[in-house]
Structure 1
Amino acid sequence: MVRLIDKVGKVAMLASALLLASCSQTPDRGAQRTDFNIGWSIYAGWMPWPYAQQAGIVKKWADKYGIKINVVQVNDYVESINQYTAGKFDGVTVTNMDALTIPAAGGKDSSAIIVGDYSNGNDGILLRGADQMRAIKGQQVYLVELSVSHYLLARGLETAGLKPTDVKAVNTSDADIVGAFGSPQAKAVVAWNPQLSVMKNQPGVAQVFSSAQIPGEILDLMVVDTATLKANPNLGKALTGIWYETVSLMQRQDAQGRAARAAMAKLAGSTPESFESQLSTTHLYTDPKAAVSATSNPALIKTMTQVRNFSFSKGLFKGASSADAVGIAFPGGKTLGDPQRVTLRFDESFMKLAADGKL
């Protein structure tokens, strides 16, 4: 995992300049509104969102609170986060690390209102022609740089006694990664489902490390702009209602549940069988009480400490002098980093409303 620090600096400065330019043209996020846009990209744990829109569940909950919610697909995952950061979306599906290193590190105050799941094997490292992690040494590794794939690679290298300098990262978008790994020179890749399952089934390919070996460290979230949420709490209530109604439906083992999962598979471009396999490696928090417990657990602070220290070590905090530069707030008033510069908040209040039957 090699990324030159001077290159990171130049990319970060360019991204910051573009962000400032784009944000200057966005409406006041603290205003009361009735129309909202939520971005999503294809991943097993996020497929409930487009299905909910297709099935009328989004409209049902939006109507309940007198608002309109547009659920918008973005084919490239990192681009969906960039568009959220620039103000095009009011919320976005994102992992804990990427919420920290892109919007939060860029100064955009964001609230994680739904901890939907953690990857329990949905992210993995694949090698062609080898079945041991140590064989990755000296390889070019195709992955989405500055994403959780970076983090997974680092954790995998640790288990094999290897250093980041033992491999060379090749930045590849999630939309292009399957094609890139199909080239003859590609021997190593880090990816998430559904792309991971497609590549894992290729001849001579073995999975040598996965998120199942670090359970709870790669979280999948619904993150909403904090100012928008404060001015429009009904958006948080509607999104939470949508989520729990949909995941409750998809857990059912009757014909309706199977039909919902088959529809999600189709939306993801997968077969029902492949999608069921992806769900088996996704630890969904279907019970809001479990999600509240996980969000309030001190283990989350430990996880985010690991994530932010890794992110800072890779220069992902855009010129910050320490990992404390980006503040992270947790339930109960606990804060990691600078309490005066909190830009990522784990807000369990909406999940608690769901747990208490008060939505």
Structure 2
Amino acid sequence: MKRFLRAAALAAGLAAVVLAGADRPAHAAPKKSFKVAYTVYIGFMPLAYMKSSGIMKKWADKYGLDIELIQANDYVGSVNQFIAGEIDAVGVASMDGLTMPAAGGVDTSVFLITDYSNGNDIVLSKTAKDIKELAGQDVYLLQYSVSHYLLNRGLQQAGVTDPTATKTVNISDSEIAAAYVSQKDLAHAVSWKPLTEDMEKVAGTTVLFDSSKIPGEIMDVFVGKTEVLKDNPDFAKAVIGAWYEALGVLKAGGAKGDEMRAVMTSAMGTDAGGLQSQLDTTHFFYTPAEALAFLTSAENAKIWDSIRTFCFSQGLFGQGATSVDSIGIEVADGTVLGDKGNIKMRINPTFTKLAVDGKL
């Protein structure tokens, strides 16, 4: 999955908002057909099983809906489709939900959290043995991505507070693994599984920092437009219900669990070992109670504050943003980080709470 923001993608998204969002009534009539897009990343792959097993259809039928699950080839493209209203929900890294649709002016709500990276994302080096040694060095990564955020947080934890202490060099996710393996002068890099599996095998490589040191900060979520979720709560209920039924299968194991793993493995183009490696470093919220506890915790609000601070410092709120408070983020308890008059990102635990209470 390409977990990143490109300026061009944001510009395209903004244009789409202007074209697709103009003159939309505040509350549209309830609709019956929905599209949910996701890309190939471990945190989203239960949707492949939800589709193939009929679990999604079962929950959609319960509410008289038609819900299509779409595995998209292009991550940024799927987010732009969401911004344009061509799909109703999309799986994103939480940071990208803030810097793409929300920063682009779309009132966006997180209605499902799937997981957080718990070691999937790593900072590695062929020569350094401590992340502090990266000060003054070139570090190759996908700029403005969760890799960039991870590096920043690793340096902060090591006491390096100057964000310009290292020079980040942009490289695409499709190139970084091969470049690190083949180029001796590319000594330091940040990336994620499965790309890092070959990178870690390079002689002398040390993992300097990984996402398990910042638990919960690199979240994967599904977002919807706030007005769509408000007008169509049954849509969110169906997706949530199907999600937790599928995760129950994965957690329980057995024959059905093996079947689900096989579906996920095939959809990701990996093997059983590759799947397990990624599961081992991903913290899934297997029950709605676990997800609700995380979403409503004080720590979650602190995480969003950290995310927004990084995004603003990198200019990802757009040229019109004058401070970190330019965009309002409403966390689960109703507290707003930033501008209360410009809330564009909302952490909505309502549907997860219904699942906890058995009221889906």
Tell me if both proteins adopt one fold, taking TM over 0.5 as the criterion.
yes
Query: Among residues 83, 86, 92, which one is paired with 2:84 in the alignment?
Result: 86
After TM superposition, the structure 1 = structure 2 runs for residues 145-224 of structure 1, keeping only pairs within 5 Å, are 145-162=143-160, 163-184=162-183, 185-224=185-224
Query: Are the structure 2 counterparts of residues 63 and 144 from structure 1 closer, same or farther at C-alpha, using a change threshold of 3 Å?
Result: farther
Q: Which residue number in structure 2 is paired with residue 5 of structure 1?
A: none
Deviations 1:49-86 (A, max 9, x none): 12211222222222222222222223343443333233
Task: Write the distance in 2 (CA, Å) between the matches of 1:200 and 1:242.
Answer: 36
Deviation at 1:116, TM superposition (A): 1.6
Q: Which residue number in structure 1 is paired with residue 328 of structure 2?
A: 327
After TM superposition, the structure 1 = structure 2 runs for residues 206-355 of structure 1, keeping only pairs within 5 Å, are 206-319=206-319, 320-355=321-356
After TM superposition, the structure 1 = structure 2 runs for residues 62-141 of structure 1, keeping only pairs within 5 Å, are 62-141=60-139
Aligned residue for 2:91, secondary structure, equals: strand
On the 8 A contact 2:250/2:260 being kept in 1, the answer is yes
Task: Write the distance in 2 (CA, Å) between the matches of 1:126 and 1:75.
Answer: 28
C-alpha RMSD over aligned residues: 2.3
Show structure 2 runs of 5+ residues with no match.
none
Letter in 2 for 1:132: D
Please identify runs of 4+ aligned residues in structure 1 that moved more than 4 A.
Answer: 14-17
Query: Are the structure 2 counterparts of residues 71 and 145 from structure 1 closer, same or farther at C-alpha, using a change threshold of 3 Å?
Result: farther
Task: Write the distance in 2 (CA, Å) between the matches of 1:74 and 1:205.
Answer: 33
Aligned residue for 2:252, secondary structure, equals: coil
On the 8 A contact 1:59/1:69 being kept in 2, the answer is yes
Deviation at 1:134, TM superposition (A): 3.4
On the 8 A contact 1:45/1:116 being kept in 2, the answer is yes
Letter in 1 for 2:317: F
Query: Are the structure 2 counterparts of residues 124 and 77 from structure 1 closer, same or farther at C-alpha, using a change threshold of 3 Å?
Result: farther
Query: Are the structure 2 counterparts of residues 271 and 293 from structure 1 closer, same or farther at C-alpha, using a change threshold of 3 Å?
Result: same
Deviation at 1:154, TM superposition (A): 0.3
Task: Write the distance in 1 (CA, Å) between the matches of 2:195 and 2:147.
Answer: 13
On the 8 A contact 1:145/1:171 being kept in 2, the answer is yes
Aligned residue for 1:106, secondary structure, equals: coil
Query: Are the structure 2 counterparts of residues 59 and 15 from structure 1 closer, same or farther at C-alpha, using a change threshold of 3 Å?
Result: same
> Percent identity, aligned pairs only?
42
Deviation at 1:129, TM superposition (A): 4.3
Deviations 1:239-286 (A, max 9, x none): 101210111111123122122123212211221122112111111111
On the 8 A contact 1:252/1:258 being kept in 2, the answer is no
Worse overlay, 97-106 or 185-194: 185-194
Query: Are the structure 2 counterparts of residues 89 and 301 from structure 1 closer, same or farther at C-alpha, using a change threshold of 3 Å?
Result: same
Task: Write the distance in 1 (CA, Å) between the matches of 2:15 and 2:74.
Answer: 22
Task: Write the distance in 1 (CA, Å) between the matches of 2:294 and 2:153.
Answer: 22
- Number of residue pairs matched by the alignment: 349
**TM-score, with structure 1 as normaliser:** 0.89
Q: Which residue number in structure 2 is paired with residue 34 of structure 1?
A: 32
Letter in 2 for 1:350: F
